[in-house]
Structure 1
Amino acid sequence: MEPRSAAAAGKDFPYTARTTCYVEVHEDGTVTHGGGHAAYERAVAGKSRLFAVWPGEWSSHLFVIDDLDEYAKAHGIKHDEERTGLKEHVHDVQWEPNPYGESSPRSPYLSVSVTLDCGCEIHDLRTFAAQMKAQQGWDVATSGGWGSSGAPGGKREYSLRVRRRSLTG
């Protein structure tokens, strides 16, 4: 039986779901688990093939990762503006402490309200965190909750946590 095609599922394939397990079959027949940038590079070079096991309720399904470009976009290896909502440019960011967030001065993180005056929207916090680390030195927490508010089609305000020592301005 041949594995199913991840490409056939399109953008609905759960590339980044916690329950998706990656299996890499190397050209010498060695089988390893995991994914990431190195596995992507080997697959692009033809040195391995990537597969994903996606557990269902009663059984698991095996998929061949046959759209490596979509895999790379989903994992942030290649930038995808549609998926992240973020252009690759220096963001025009306004921020202030969130009056409804964590207020303990001993907490290493500060809850902040952020608006992007450059027209971008945050759909993927990890991508925004990486961009802000590179652009302003911020350490944005990606393991906790975050959210946004605002009218559809209007400017959005984002609530997130940033390491206090990394904030400037």
Structure 2
Amino acid sequence: MEPRSAAAAGRDFPYTARTTCYIEIHRDGRVTHGTDRATYERAVAGESRLYAVWPGEWSSHLFAIDDLDEYAKAHGIKHDVQRTGPAEHVHQVRWAESSGEQNPRSPYVGIEVSLACGCEIQSLDVFAAQMREQKGWAVATSVGWGSSSGPEGTTYSLRVRRKSLTA
């Protein structure tokens, strides 16, 4: 039986679900797993085939990742404003320390961020990478973050390594 087509599922395919497991089958028969840029580049070059196992209610389903462009956008390998948010440009960032911050010795500090350039954060990982490159910030991506909207726009609550904010 042939695997199902991920492309046929369109944008509804759970590319980034925690329960989706990727399998890469190399031309030489080796089997590996992962979702990094190198996996994508090998698949695009025809050096390997990429599959995903997606657990269903009663059984798991095997899918051929036959739309590598959609896969790359979902995993942030290719930028997709609809999925990950901020466009790839230098952001006009305004920030201030959160008012509830109580431990000045903590390596991380809560900050409130607004983007005057009109961008919206959809993926903290993407925004963190952009801020690391643009401002040298070390944004914590393993903790929660949030947003609130008002007449002035959207404000995002993030945690950032305190020392990186001086850069």
With the length of structure 2 as denominator, give the TM-score of the two structures. 0.95
Q: Is residue 76–residue 84 contact of structure 2 (8 Å, CA) maintained in 1?
A: no
Counterpart Cα distance in 2 of 1:167 and 1:7: 42
With the length of structure 1 as denominator, give the TM-score of the two structures. 0.93
User: How far does residue 59 in structure 1 lie from its aligned partner after superposition?
Assistant: 1.2
Counterpart Cα distance in 2 of 1:90 and 1:34: 30
Counterpart Cα distance in 2 of 1:112 and 1:103: 12
- Report sequence identity in percent: 71
Q: Which runs of 4+ in 1 moved over 2 A?
A: none
Counterpart Cα distance in 1 of 2:130 and 2:60: 36
Q: Give 1:92-103 correspondences, 5 Å limit.
A: 92-100=92-100, 102-103=101-102
Structure 2 unaligned segments of length 5 or more: list them: none
Name 1:90's counterpart in structure 2.
Answer: 90
Counterpart Cα distance in 2 of 1:156 and 1:29: 49
Equivalent position SS for 1:8 = helix
Equivalent position SS for 1:118 = coil
How many residues are matched?
167
Structure 1 unaligned segments of length 5 or more: list them: none
Deviations 1:88-118 (A, max 9, x none): 1100000001113x42112111000000000
Q: Is residue 137–residue 167 contact of structure 1 (8 Å, CA) maintained in 2?
A: yes
Deviations 1:116-135 (A, max 9, x none): 00000000100000000000
Q: Could you say what the CA RMSD is over the residues aligned between the two structures, in angstroms?
A: 1.5
User: How far does residue 57 in structure 1 lie from its aligned partner after superposition?
Assistant: 2.5
